[in-house]
Amino acid sequence: MDIQTLTIIIVLLTFALYIGIAIWSRAGSTHDFYVASGGVNPVANGMATAADWMSAASFISMAGLISFMGYDGAVYLMGWTGGYVLLALCLAPYLRKFGKFTVPAFIGDRYYSNTARTVAVICAVFVCFTYVAGQMRGVGVVFSRFLEVDITAGVVIGMAIVFFYAVLGGMKGITYTQVAQYCVLICAYLVPAIFISIMMTGHVIPQIGFGSELNDGFLSADGSLSADGSGTYLLDKLDGLSTELGFAEYTSGTKSTIDVFFITAALMVGTAGLPHVIVRFFTVPKVRDARKSAGWALLFIALLYTTAPAIASFARVNMIDTINGPDAEGIAYEEAPGWISNWENTGLISWEDKNDDGRMFYSGDERNEMTIDRDIMVLANPEIAGLPAWVIALVAAGGIAAALSTSAGLLLVISTSISHDLLKRNLMPHISDKQELRYARIASAVAICIAGYLGINPPGFVAQVVAFAFGLAASSFFPAIILGIFSKRMNKEGAIAGMIAGITFTAAYIIYFKFINPAANVPESWWFGISPEGIGTLGMLLNFAVAIGVAKVTGDAPKHVQEMVANIRFPKGAGEASAH
């Protein structure tokens, strides 16, 4: 069977599974729709959280980024996992005890103010939209590559699937579907990594393999034995190759220390402040389970995140070897392995014979003749290593699972924010449970259409806007929630002023460097050498400073709010999360 047929079969099988689960666990009430009656086991909830969090970006493009960035890629690894520690220690148990469905609900009640609630709704919807658009695009790319359909058709198929189970199933459907999606995506990620690790180093565990010595003549892509490299450590060989070819040393990277520091911090705090991840901790029955759930989630995420740097270095060595050949002279274009021509068709790899010798050559200096898109590494990796067709099909299914699970979670946040926080609590307080559920479904249907439109006609800056979303989450929600829990006296004036100051500053900095004056987007003109990706950290500090300053001059929060804060600080008496 060829790759295309196999891919169709495997993807259809996984879809049948997801839809089956969505129908089986259809939501019957608003409560089911929002938080699955708080009745989800912490292990299942951990898997769902992991699937929710690991988007098409983590699955498809992260290892590729690390592969090209070397040490600097650690900002994603530490940033996105370290945020979970903050979430588990500082946020999850308290928000669970507080017992509300959404982040805007917490902010609105804790700061006894509908203005604060509305500010939070706007931030939540904006953060989620930027993500969903990217996910839809991701689904479209995978479909169009492996099913050879038009990208528009790819996105429309994806929209239909997401609509089906997010809108009908609600949180309960999503949770169990996401458990299945986690299983699919983690298998798809680990199987090729394990195969390649055995081939290159003889170790079954990729995490150990990439710090080991290369096999005596590992099998390279064209099936020939590469004689080069036996007995040396893989990372040493990679460092050597990189400097020879004019790249920075793989284990050192090129970013300045302060920039790495700020980007990592922004991603960590952004993770902890993301509304679609926080809402996960309302779906477990107890505070204790919320703590446990964050632990399980990190375990399931760590499986993928510790494998990613291994894949990155394997892919890098393999790719350089198959293009430049064992003697680093370049391989004749006619003898190029199949993956190169396959991906040339998509336009994501191109070769320009600058010195007219008919041989390909890849390097970081003027000798370079190859243009390679970073996003293809994970999808192309099994092909580069010459793994069987079913592994390649599995990877395609995994990429789609990652994109679908994340977009479903994000859509849910958009719909609850609008139907519950904006309509029920603000504009139309008298609507019934049933009407509210209908509005939630309408909101997610509208959101899917807008996201699909953005996926088909990407505004051209989806990748840039992802950094924007993290900065926003870091500089708006995180300080407001932390102060809401750890400072009894923090009042609404402080929180609102802080959120607005943090967002405005961060947004202005990013918009200036990314959209208004992109030419100035170089380290010399950045403030303190901090790139727009890392500026959310500074925005967060500003938010804290403004909030504390303003609160000092406007007096303490009212007594009943202080009592409420005292009450969320210990687990006893946590009922199920409720709407009222």
Partner 1 sequence: MSFESEKHADQYWKENLRMMLTLLSIWFAVSFGAGILFVEELNTIRLGGFKLGFWFAQQGSIYVFLALIVVYVVKMNKLDRKYNVHEDHEEPEEFEEALEEEFTQ
**In the complex, which residues of this chain contact partner 1 (CB under 8 A)?**
66, 71, 73-74, 77-78, 81-82, 84-86, 88-90, 93, 207, 210-213, 233-236, 251-252, 257, 260-261, 264-265, 268, 286-288, 291-292, 294-295, 298-299, 302, 305-306, 309, 566, 569-574
Rounded to the nearest whole angstrom, what is the least distance from the CB of residue 213 to partner 1 in the complex? 7
**What is the chain's alpha carbon radius of gyration, rounded to the nearest angstrom?**
24
The C-alpha atoms of residue 102 and residue 477 are separated, in whole angstroms, by 12
Residues 6 or more apart in contact with residue 156 via CB below 8 angstroms: 452, 456
Tokens linked to 322: 């198959």
DSSP 8-class letter at 518: G
Burial grade of 300 (CB within 10 A; 0-12, 13-18, 19 or more): buried
| Of 127 and 199, CB closest to partner 1 | 199
Rounded to the nearest whole angstrom, what is the least distance from the CB of residue 41 to partner 1 in the complex? 15
| Of 460 and 573, CB closest to partner 1 | 573
Q: Please state, in angstroms and as integers, the Cα–Cα distance from residue 490 to each residue in 38, 402, 495, 536, 558, following that order.
A: 29, 39, 7, 22, 10
Rounded to the nearest whole angstrom, what is the least distance from the CB of residue 302 to partner 1 in the complex? 5
| Of 97 and 110, CB closest to partner 1 | 97
Rounded to the nearest whole angstrom, what is the least distance from the CB of residue 78 to partner 1 in the complex? 5
Q: Long-range pairs for 143-152 at CB < 8 Å and ≥24 separation?
A: 143/400, 145/346, 145/379, 145/396, 146/3, 146/4, 146/7, 146/11, 146/393, 146/396, 147/4, 147/7, 147/8, 147/11, 148/4, 151/456, 152/456
| Of 145 and 286, CB closest to partner 1 | 286
Rounded to the nearest whole angstrom, what is the least distance from the CB of residue 72 to partner 1 in the complex? 9
| Of 15 and 84, CB closest to partner 1 | 84
| Of 39 and 358, CB closest to partner 1 | 39
Instruction: Name the one residue in this structure whose structure tokens are 């804060």.
Output: 565
The C-alpha atoms of residue 255 and residue 243 are separated, in whole angstroms, by 16
Name the nearest CA neighbour of 362 among 349, 371, 375: 371
Rounded to the nearest whole angstrom, what is the least distance from the CB of residue 52 to partner 1 in the complex? 17
| Of 139 and 268, CB closest to partner 1 | 268
Rounded to the nearest whole angstrom, what is the least distance from the CB of residue 576 to partner 1 in the complex? 12
Tokens linked to 69: 């960035």
Rounded to the nearest whole angstrom, what is the least distance from the CB of residue 271 to partner 1 in the complex? 11
Name the nearest CA neighbour of 132 among 545, 462, 503: 462
| Of 552 and 569, CB closest to partner 1 | 569
